[in-house]
């Protein structure tokens, strides 16, 4: 989808580059390519050379030329062949040749040395990785990630609009599932209802989304655990079915955990819901500009321990959301940082019984001068289906 060039975002990147003495960034992760150019590639082979002064260059796969010309903010587009009869190397190395040649025009260059995770390309099924040749081509490079992480933590008005679209699709998909979930369906069957709505109805959403993709983990009853896959376990009457869900709308993401229950919720879960929502509401209220992210982590984990779940959860309780579902900042008691106006944070306390079952609640919040604004319309807690 074509969006106006987000000059506020790009100028922030350039200011941070100048502060660190970087003359150019050379990036390859699909989310960083999207962030700097608005081009979301099909296979993750693409790259960008982004100078502190002058126009950036987008390096993209030849079959993507039309997409790049339609959506990218940069007019300088250099294409490389997906198949070259004279060159048996993978196409990403032909992109590297172009990027390395362009980088020689600049002094201090930054590449993604400390990148830990990256968002997917549009095809998703085979996420790209960096070969050794990529790093060898820039032996004197500095790390670009401090610049990109700092820039991406604060969202521009355009980014907030795009995040609202992803949140709206996620909420509508939950309303759809709320109307069709029944005891005895499998986790996979009800997950497919959610995923189908996101892709089928989210693509074209409000005439502003070219491609919407959903990602989910769905667990019911005793199947609710962290870091386990959706299975063919049945939806349980009276116990929550938990939806750990992401929507990607043209490269901008949301990250939620929502819960549905067919029938009357059991007393055990009603008590757990009441306690966890108390921790969650206190965490959300704490997230005002200037609040300590370390203290947020301590407070949430102390609240969960007081509910009888010491040491939980095993996942982060707060992180940024934007051109990835998980991006800086992260709340951690052993780290620093503070909540800042313009951040979008996923707040997600959870607690789980050893024998299986438990609860997590999560939504995305825009931090404003007046406090956090919830971005998804679907309720928190356990919602009656």
Question: Residues 280, 191: contact at Cβ < 8 Å?
Answer: no
- Asked whether the CA dihedral 135, 6, 347, 337 is positive or negative, the reply is positive
Based on the fold, state whether residues 144 and 163 are members of the same structural domain: no
pLDDT of residue 338: 98
The domain of 191 spans 157-384
Domain finish residue from 91, 126, 152? 152
Based on the fold, state whether residues 76 and 143 are members of the same structural domain: yes
Residue 2, domain member (yes or no): no
Residue 1, domain member (yes or no): no
pLDDT tens-digit profile, the chain (385 residues): 789 999 999 999 999 999 999 999 999 999 999 999 999 999 999 999 999 999 999 999 999 999 999 999 999 999 999 999 999 999 999 999 999 999 999 999 999 999 999 999 999 989 889 999 999 999 999 999 999 999 999 999 999 999 999 999 999 999 999 999 999 999 999 999 999 999 999 999 999 999 999 999 999 999 999 989 999 999 999 999 999 999 999 999 999 999 999 999 999 999 999 999 999 999 999 999 999 999 999 999 999 999 999 999 999 999 999 999 999 999 999 999 999 999 999 999 999 999 999 999 999 999 999 999 999 999 999 999 9
Domain finish residue from 91, 119, 152? 152
Based on the fold, state whether residues 172 and 126 are members of the same structural domain: no
pLDDT of residue 1: 77
Based on the fold, state whether residues 162 and 288 are members of the same structural domain: yes
Based on the fold, state whether residues 161 and 261 are members of the same structural domain: yes
What is the rounded CA–CA span in Å between residue 58 and residue 36? 9
What is the rounded CA–CA span in Å between residue 47 and residue 199? 27
What is the rounded CA–CA span in Å between residue 283 and residue 272? 17
CA–CA distances in Å: residue 216 to residues 222, 368, 373: 18, 29, 24
* Helix/strand number for the chain, H first, E second: 10, 17
Pairing assessment for the beta strands 142-143 and 109-111 based on DSSP bridges: parallel
Based on the fold, state whether residues 348 and 213 are members of the same structural domain: yes
Based on the fold, state whether residues 143 and 164 are members of the same structural domain: no
């Amino acid at each position: 989808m074509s969006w106006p060039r987000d000059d506020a975002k790009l100028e922030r990147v350039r200011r941070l580059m100048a502060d660190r003495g970087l003359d150019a960034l050379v990036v390859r992760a699909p989310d960083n390519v999207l962030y700097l150019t608005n081009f979301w590639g099909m296979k993750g082979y693409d790259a960008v050379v982004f100078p502190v002064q002058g126009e950036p260059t987008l390096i993209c796969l030849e079959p993507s030329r039309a997409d790049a010309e339609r959506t990218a903010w940069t007019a300088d587009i250099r294409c490389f062949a997906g198949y070259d009869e004279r060159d048996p190397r993978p196409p990403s190395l032909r992109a590297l040749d172009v990027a390395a040649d362009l980088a020689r025009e600049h002094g201090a260059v930054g590449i993604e040395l400390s990148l830990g995770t990256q968002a997917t390309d549009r095809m998703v099924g085979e996420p790209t990785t960096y070969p050794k040749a990529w790093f060898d081509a820039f032996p004197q490079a500095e790390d670009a990630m401090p610049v990109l992480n700092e820039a991406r933590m604060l969202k521009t008005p355009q980014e907030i609009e795009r995040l609202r679209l992803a949140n709206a699709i996620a909420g509508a998909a939950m309303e759809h599932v709320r109307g069709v979930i029944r005891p005895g369906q499998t986790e996979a069957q009800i997950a497919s209802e959610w995923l189908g709505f996101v892709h089928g109805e989210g693509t074209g959403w409000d005439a502003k989304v070219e491609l919407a993709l959903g990602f989910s983990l769905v667990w019911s009853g005793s199947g609710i655990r962290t870091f386990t896959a959706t299975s063919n376990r049945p939806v349980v009457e009276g116990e929550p079915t938990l939806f750990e869900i992401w929507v990607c709308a043209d490269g901008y993401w949301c990250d939620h955990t929502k819960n549905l229950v067919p029938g009357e919720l059991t007393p055990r879960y009603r008590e757990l819901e009441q306690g966890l929502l108390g921790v969650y509401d206190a965490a959300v209220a704490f997230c005002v500009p200037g609040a300590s992210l370390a203290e947020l982590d301590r407070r949430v984990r102390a609240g969960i321990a007081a509910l009888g779940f010491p040491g939980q959860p095993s996942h982060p309780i707060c992180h940024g959301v934007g051109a990835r579902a998980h991006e800086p900042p992260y709340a951690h008691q052993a780290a620093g940082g503070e909540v800042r106006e313009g951040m979008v944070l996923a707040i997600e306390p959870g607690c789980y019984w050893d024998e299986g079952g438990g609860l997590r609640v999560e939504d995305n919040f825009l931090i404003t001068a007046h406090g956090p604004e919830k971005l998804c319309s679907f309720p928190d807690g356990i919602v009656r289906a």
